[in-house]
Amino acid sequence: MGKTTMHKIDMTTWPRAELFRFFSGVSQPFYSVTFRVDVTNLHAYTKARGISFYYALGYLVTDAVNSVVNFRYTIRDGEVWLLDKRIPSLTDLRPGSEQFHIVTLPKTGTLDEFCCAAKAKSAAQKSFLDQDCETDALIYISTTPWFDLTSCTNERDFDKDDAIPRITWGKYVPENGRETLGMSLEVNHRFIDGYHLGQFYQKLQKSIDEL
């Protein structure tokens, strides 16, 4: 498991301190948005190489998350910390089964190498969840490839300090000669505003378009 480092935020100089305190005062600081992503190039790329579209998009989503500072804040013992990176944790169906498990591994190497590593770890994993991998430095990633996703909510034990992004996408569908899918992000407003979601989207779409 890749080690994640972090440093503590000085609340007296942090530019977001006022916004953080404002959204800390609401009883439910979480919100979600769903938007469309053009995945035409990614579908062609993965099909040509015989690799998983799901793992590949998980790799690019992780890159996009880690490129935006606000996605990497977390809270430990009431204090704000900035992680150097977040780690993807992906739901994955067992072959020939309706039951899924959760595969967590660091995003390392090339896109193709990550897809191979994720496939190997998923195939070898015997448990539903590796508890040793469960930290606040994760990204919860899932997909609903059977239908076009238009919105999404997530189960959770309510904890206002939970800053783990939840990212889900649906089936890619034809649209004006391209292929797009609906992607949902559920985040904590104490750290992440619409502006930061826009930064995530721009990074993700640019990475796909450049494949």
What would the pLDDT profile of 77-122 be if each residue is shown by its tens digit? 999 999 999 999 999 998 788 989 999 999 999 999 999 999 999 9
pLDDT band at 4 (very low <50, low <70, confident <90, very high): confident
Q: Which residues contact 142 (CB under 8 A, 6 or more apart)?
A: 90, 91, 166, 167, 168
CB 57, CB 168: distance < 8 Å? no
Which of 36-40, 153-157, 165-169, 203-207 shows the lowest mean pLDDT across its residues? 153-157
Q: What is the pLDDT of residue 2?
A: 54
Per DSSP, the three-state class of 211 is coil
Q: What is the pLDDT of residue 90?
A: 97
Q: What is the pLDDT of residue 109?
A: 97
Q: What is the pLDDT of residue 134?
A: 79
Tens of pLDDT, residue by residue over 119-171, are 999 999 988 887 777 799 999 999 999 999 999 999 888 899 999 999 999 99
Q: Which residues contact 82 (CB under 8 A, 6 or more apart)?
A: 6, 7, 9, 69, 72, 73, 74
CA-CA-CA-CA torsion sign (85, 24, 192, 148): positive
Per DSSP, the three-state class of 125 is coil
For all residues of the chain together, what is the average pLDDT? Answer: 95
CA distance to 32, 44, 117, 201, per residue, from 73 (Å) = 17, 34, 27, 18
Q: d(Cα 136, Cα 70) in Å, to the nearest integer?
A: 14
Q: What is the pLDDT of residue 47?
A: 97
Q: What is the pLDDT of residue 97?
A: 85
Q: What is the pLDDT of residue 3?
A: 65
Q: d(Cα 142, Cα 23) in Å, to the nearest integer?
A: 27
* Mean pLDDT, residues 200-209: 98
Q: What is the pLDDT of residue 101?
A: 94
* Mean pLDDT, residues 182-202: 98
The pTM assigned to this predicted structure is 0.95
